[in-house]
Amino acid sequence: MRAAYLTASTVVAALSLVSAGQLQAQTTTSDAGQRLATVNRDPYPSTYVPRPAQLTALIGATVLDGAGGMIENGTIIMSDGKIMSVGTDVDIPAGATMVNANGKWVTSGIIDIHSHIGIGPVPNTGASGDVNETTSPNTAQVWAEHAVWPQDPAFGRAIAGGVTTQHISVGSANLFGGRTVVVKNVPARTTQGMKFPGAKQGVKMACGENPKRVYGDKSGPSTRMASFAGYREAWYDALQYQYDWDLYDAKVQQGDPAAKPPKRDLKKETLALALSGDILVQMHCYRADEMALVLDMAKEFGYHVATFHHAVEAYKIADLLAEAGTCGAMWSDWWGFKLESFDGIRENIALVDAAENGCAIVHSDSNVGIQILNQEAAKSMAAGNRMGLGITKGEAWQWLSLNPARALQIDEQTGSLEAGKMADVVIWDGDPFSVYTRAERVYIDGALTYDRNDPNRQFLSDFEVGYVEHGDLR
């Protein structure tokens, strides 16, 4: 974590040496939370409360633990919504509900790091679509969570595909699209009721064609050059904003009665929090050369790119991504739907994974794809193995689980079947790397939240009421 504290006097001393126009990256390491102490950083807090969970033992399954491991004939104990133990030789506590999972596979829940469910819901109409705020190339002030519709029928389809957590992202029309939100894939009346407790927001940024296409005939950018100029100007504005608040804080701490707080600016605030690491940078980028430039820009301003999303050419710079500690979140095989995706290859995910310390993620960006992410991982694994990469099923499951958890910084809480973590668990009716396999049960925080064999444990969204009954549609 980069957010080192600076004392007020250090800040003032540092600032006395540089004018605002010459701000250096190192001045950005002050803590935005401290500076913006009077600001409520969590005004729409999570109200998610896990549903009651039984003490449960899943017995006799083939287990993919999400952290790279595979256990034959494994047992998993879930207690109080948490994973209690996993292994072949675990004690089953008295009173546990026993689930015979013989012949089944049990995995950690799938985390989709690129979803627009809820903000780009079905039915897909102008009235319901809220993915892109295409009124300005920088809308860092908007928040995805202000538009997530918890009744989007796609949430219920996603959980049937074993998805337990989603990172719901703003779209990619803008250089800075806005703030993203992480949700648990649970039935709820409100968006706050789905919000993943304690998960950081992200800021969605976009490279390449989309901002050019959307703004080329308007205010610009109409070129990649102007896109970079736009990012850099905005980052400098955010540095200035931090500087103004640092100065104000220093004055307050020195007891200056004339200290006046700067005007709050929601756009700059998002970016300042991204610079300090309190908000994660999630960037849509296809071309290798652009990603390499963005990594340099991140160094220029002292921030970290958590993930490149789509990253269709990530295989060309897998080493650079690994070195930067930046994950690639990718489709298995989408390509060619626009020029910057023309060089897509099936082995992309496997090659990003193969780099030393590489972090590969399978994402959907699709409310159909999110239902079959296990199949998408299977395709990528097979492609990698066909070229001799020797990827195991356990390793490939990380692409759906621990790796996205890392990129979202929720890996302490979820992303693998390890004692103490949230019991986000899927029982599959067979090998999840087969097209014929379906999720049978999904537990979220230990609570049975989807059951293929129980219509009343399948989501029926408000939208679907009156059209169909529980279990009529899947």
Partner 1 sequence: MRTLLVLTAALVWSFAANADSIAIINGTVHTVADGSVLNNATVVIEDDKIVAVGVDVYVPIGAIVIDAGGRPVTPGLMNVVTKMGLLEVGQVSGADDYTSVGAPFSAGFDVSAGLNPDSVLIPVTRVDGVTRAVTVPSAFGSVFWGLGAIVHLGTGTGLGDDMVVKARAAQYAGFGGRAADAMGGTRGGLAVFMRQAFDDALHYDANRRNFDQNRTRDYVLHQLDLDALVPVLEGDIPLVVTVNRASDMRVLVGLAEEYNIRMVFSSAREAWKVADDLAAAEIGVIIDPSNNLPTSFDNVYATLDNAKRLYDAGVKIAIATTSFNDYNNPRNVTQIAGVGVANGLPFDAALAAITRNPAELFGVDDEYGTLEVGKDADVVVWEGDPLEVTVLPTDVIIKGKVMPLDSRQIRLRDRYRDLSDPEPMQFR
| C-alpha–C-alpha distance, residues 412 and 311, integer Å | 26
Binding partner 1 (rule: CB under 8 A), the pick from 272, 351, 423, 427 is 351
C-alpha count within 13 angstroms, C-beta hemisphere, residue 379: 16
- Kindly state the smallest distance separating residue 83's Cβ from partner 1, in Å: 28
Asked whether position 435 contacts partner 1 by CB under 8 A, the answer is yes
Question: Other C-beta atoms within 10 Å of 172: how many?
Answer: 24
Selection from 129, 109, 110, 111 nearest residue 119 by Cα: 129
Asked whether position 345 contacts partner 1 by CB under 8 A, the answer is yes
SS3 assignment, position 325: coil
Segment interacting with partner 1 (CB under 8 A) among 32-40, 42-50, 191-199, 431-439: 431-439
**What are the tokens at 318?**
């897998």
Asked whether position 187 contacts partner 1 by CB under 8 A, the answer is no
Nearest to partner 1 of 162, 302 (CB atom) = 162
Asked whether position 333 contacts partner 1 by CB under 8 A, the answer is yes
Selection from 16, 34, 26, 4 nearest residue 253 by Cα: 34
Asked whether position 346 contacts partner 1 by CB under 8 A, the answer is yes
Per-residue burial over 114-125, b = 16 or more CB atoms within 10 Å of its CB, e = otherwise: bbbbbbbbeeee
Q: What is the DSSP string of 204-257?
A: EEE-THHHHHHHTTTTS--SHHHHHHHHHHHHHHHHHHHHHHHHHHHHHHTT-T
- Kindly state the smallest distance separating residue 1's Cβ from partner 1, in Å: 30
Asked whether position 465 contacts partner 1 by CB under 8 A, the answer is no
Binding partner 1 (rule: CB under 8 A), the pick from 226, 378, 391, 426 is 378
Nearest to partner 1 of 266, 473 (CB atom) = 473
Asked whether position 463 contacts partner 1 by CB under 8 A, the answer is yes
- Kindly state the smallest distance separating residue 316's Cβ from partner 1, in Å: 5
Segment interacting with partner 1 (CB under 8 A) among 19-27, 220-228, 240-248, 369-377: 369-377
Contacts with partner 1 in 303-322 (CB under 8 A)?
Answer: 315-319
Nearest to partner 1 of 31, 429 (CB atom) = 429
What long-range pairs does 337-345 form, CB within 8 A, spacing at least 24? 338/209, 339/209, 340/208, 340/209, 340/286, 340/287, 340/312, 341/286, 341/310, 341/312, 343/312, 343/313, 343/316, 344/312, 344/313, 345/315
Asked whether position 474 contacts partner 1 by CB under 8 A, the answer is yes
Binding partner 1 (rule: CB under 8 A), the pick from 44, 228, 248, 335 is 335
Binding mask of the shown chain, residues 112 to 141, with x at each position contacting partner 1 by CB under 8 A: ----------xxxx----------------
Question: Other C-beta atoms within 10 Å of 464: how many?
Answer: 16
Q: Using CB under 8 A, count the residues that bind partner 1.
A: 54
Give whole-number Cα distances, 125 to 36, 128, 190, in Å: 39, 5, 21
- Kindly state the smallest distance separating residue 305's Cβ from partner 1, in Å: 19
- Kindly state the smallest distance separating residue 270's Cβ from partner 1, in Å: 29
- The two counts, helices (H) then strands (E), for the chain are 12, 17
Contact status, residue 36 vs residue 245, Cβ threshold 8 Å: yes
Q: Rounded to the nearest 5°, which phi and psi values hold at 428?
A: -105, 150
Nearest to partner 1 of 50, 208 (CB atom) = 208
Contacts with partner 1 in 63-102 (CB under 8 A)?
Answer: none
Nearest to partner 1 of 146, 338 (CB atom) = 338
Q: Which residues bind partner 1 (CB under 8 A)?
A: 122-125, 153-154, 157, 209, 213, 315-319, 333-339, 342-347, 351, 355, 366-368, 371-372, 375, 378-379, 381-382, 386-387, 433-438, 463-464, 467-468, 472-474
